[in-house]
Amino acid sequence: MSIDLNGVRLAISPCPNDTFLFEGLVGALTENGGSVRYLDIAELNALHDDPDPPDVVKISCASAPLFLDRYRLLRCGGAFADAVGPLVLRRPSRDGAWSEGSGNVALPGWRTSAHILWRMWRDKNRQGEPLEEFLRFDRIPGAVADGGFSRGVVIHESRFTYQDLGLEAEADLGEFWDAETSCPVPLGCLVVRKDRGEAFARGIAERIVSHAELAFKRQEPVTPFVASLAAEMASDVQRRHILTYATRRSLDCGPEGLAAMEILWDRGETSIAPWPVDRAGRRAAIETAIGGVRT
């Protein structure tokens, strides 16, 4: 389905899995009068309050209920990993003894997927209620290494580079989620403004899948465009990031991905705070999600 890209506004993160998937669409938008914003995940999640937000936004799966009054879910363009997720990091102890339920923890955003998974793991492992503080994701490893926090929950490239700072992984919250739910880890999803209409939503989904299919066929996933926006400049880290988070579920998350999001939303409501849309509304959003075609 052909759509006019003039004036279409896209907002994604500069992380390699996003730029890998959307490089083709970014080029098409640039050539046809559209625009792209590259924002940190916390900034993307905050766009639900924007008076005139972008037409298409990549957000944390956990933040999707905040967007459902003005946006529809797309089944394509997301990040659904297999037993891989945020890491709980800490500094190694000289004597191997760790105090339980004490200290503070750095997190990449309030009620993000990482935040909900952390709360689930914390409660399952009886870690008490350590003070939670929220930092930009790329500042968390250094803050833990410097002793500012007893733990840090990291996402994106940081899961591949934390050992350079002498940190160790206490838990992979993706493995924990997999053991708890047997679902893919719901990390990121794409939403499209309702007021753009049904034809636009389906057309943009088709464009996203078409461009992403071409990206998956490349022998080398890291392009100059991907490298130019990545926070971590090592090409091997960028490649590992793409191979971990850009999967076939990025073309269509499927029933498994939708089920994972619904579980995440329910857990977020019970462990952190109520959503502005009730369970019936969230279920309706799942049932009307627009997807690409899995190949």
CB 244 within 8 A of CB 81: yes
Q: How many CA atoms lie within 13 A of 36 on its CB side?
A: 19
Q: Where are the beta strands (DSSP E) in the chain?
A: 9-12, 35-38, 56-60, 71-81, 87-90, 104-107, 131-134, 151-154, 168-172, 185-193
Kindly list the distances between the CA atom of residue 73 and the CA atoms of 44, 66, 136, 168, 289, in Å, as whole numbers in the listed order.
15, 12, 25, 36, 5
Non-local (6+) Cβ contacts of 200 within 8 A are 3, 55, 192
Catalytic position from the list 48, 156, 211, 241: 156
Token pair recorded at residue 287 = 């049932």
Buried b (16+ CB within 10 A) or exposed e, 132-154: beebebbebbbbbbeeebbbbbb
Active site residue 211: no
Which residues are known catalytic residues? Answer: 156
